[in-house]
Amino acid sequence: MPVLAAGLLILVFVGRVQELFPVLAPLRLGLVALVMNALILLATLDLADLRFKMRILPQPRLLFVILVLALLTVPFSVWPGGSWNFISNSYLNNIFAFFVLLLVMKDERDIRGIVFAGLLSVFLLGTLGMLGHAGGRLQISSTYDPNDIAYLMNCFIPLAFYLSRSGGKFRMVCCYLMMALMIVVVISTASRGGFVSLASIFVVILLKERQKKLKILLLSIFVVFTALSFAGPEYWQRMGTIVDESDYNYQAGGGRIELWKRGLGMIIDNPLIGAGMGQYQVAEGLLHKGQGGWKWSTAHNSYLQIGVELGLPGLIVYLMMLAKSIVVARKLQITPSPFERSPFLLATVSGLEVGFYAYCISSIFLSQAYSSVLFYFLALITALCALSFRMQAPVNREIVADKSRPKLSLRKPYA
């Protein structure tokens, strides 16, 4: 029941099923999922498990640090009411979802359920998006624009790829079909940032798997065939404008380059307090007040987004959280690894590592600093790290229990 309830939460927060199926809108699935998970959490709360997971990695604590910074900056925000509304209606919901997922995932079966719930969310988005696609840039829900859809697909492609090697032929076929769907969706969005992220993901995978030449060849053929089958001349013409200096992003005042310059200027002007969580667009708009035909723009860059909104302290915490997650994901794959006896867990942590790379690359082009996908990934890596300790020899667990802040030790798990 806890895993099923958490799965519903993922379908609502990541998959936006309430927007995909209009008949579900009156049911207020978001509120239902929050209340259901809150009640189950209270009934099944394991304080010892919570304390252990709070200590095992800094991610839970860093999320609270960002919350404290956000609350401290509310009185100094460019729009205090807007900051408070964003914190209470968005950030706190994501923190709640993070802890629900973290506390639900106690063993491999739980993690399996959470991983497949995430993939199901992306599958529904991609499938219904393609079924309803009638030309132009693919749009699926009111929450995600085409660029957001491309970002979401790119973050989950690595998980699908690595999970294809964690089971039998049926799972492999399903995962490759899902990869094909996600690639086609990225192409259908005609997102230039999505194209750069997609290409970067496969470069990372090829470098990571460079010793497996046959698999690299098959993957390359698969990706190239899929891309060429669905990307027409108009798509490649649009992608060619990425490096075209005559494009509006290079020349116009409302283009990405000038927008990023203004973002850097706002960080320099207010490096400690920031403009307030969720208020980048207001702060940017106040710089020019819409004069000269400029719109009040979002950051289109997650690093500038959090740097402008929470100052350099918030940006540093955010970067620490991402860096630590990637480092831990890499350590969990070191041989000998506690996950060597579980192909599923090893595939999950490999996919999660590349998924974090996909998030970091996509974040260069999008305002996704508080994305539900990020909280989903952070919960997964923290739960995987906790499970790795429990899978090690009892003597190691006794050593860990004697330390107030355990360190990940994987090189000699049975020493």
Residues 164, 297, single domain; the answer is: yes
Looking at the fold, whether 235 and 308 belong to one and the same domain comes out as yes
Please tell me whether residues 28 and 52 are part of one structural domain: no
Rounded-to-integer distance, Cα 261 and Cα 38, Å: 43
Do 40 and 153 lie in one domain? The reply is no
How much is the mean pLDDT over the chain? 86
How sure is the predictor about 290, in pLDDT bands with cuts at 50, 70 and 90?
low
Reported as a single tens digit per residue, the pLDDT across 246-282 is 666 666 666 788 889 889 999 999 999 999 999 999 9
For residue 413, being part of any structural domain is answered with: no
- The half-sphere exposure of 47 on its side-chain side, counting CA atoms within 13 A, is 0
- Kindly report, residue by residue over 89-103, the tens digit of the pLDDT: 999 999 999 999 999
Give the predicted TM-score (pTM) of the model.
0.90
Mean pLDDT in residue range 214-218: 74
Q: What is d(CA 31, CA 9) in angstroms, rounded to the nearest whole number?
A: 10
In this predicted structure, what is the pLDDT of residue 372? Answer: 94
Among candidate residues 140, 118, 104, 123, the one with its CA nearest the CA of residue 22? 140
- 31 with 84, same domain: the answer is no
Please tell me the total count of domains within the chain: 2
Per the domain annotation, does 412 fall within a domain? no
By residue range, what is the domain housing residue 273? 48-401
DSSP codes joined into one string, 133-163: --SSS----SS--HHHHHHHHHHHHHHHHHH
The model's pLDDT over 14-30, given as tens digits with 9 standing for 90+, comes to 999 988 888 888 888 88
Average pLDDT over residues 361-382: 94
Q: Which residues of 118-145 are buried (b: 16+ CB within 10 A; e: fewer)?
A: bbbbbbbbbebbeeebeeeebbbbeebb
CA–CA dist 152, 144 (Å, integer): 9
Note whether residue 409 is domain-resident: no
Q: Worst-scoring range by mean pLDDT, 119-133, 247-261, 279-293, 365-379?
A: 247-261
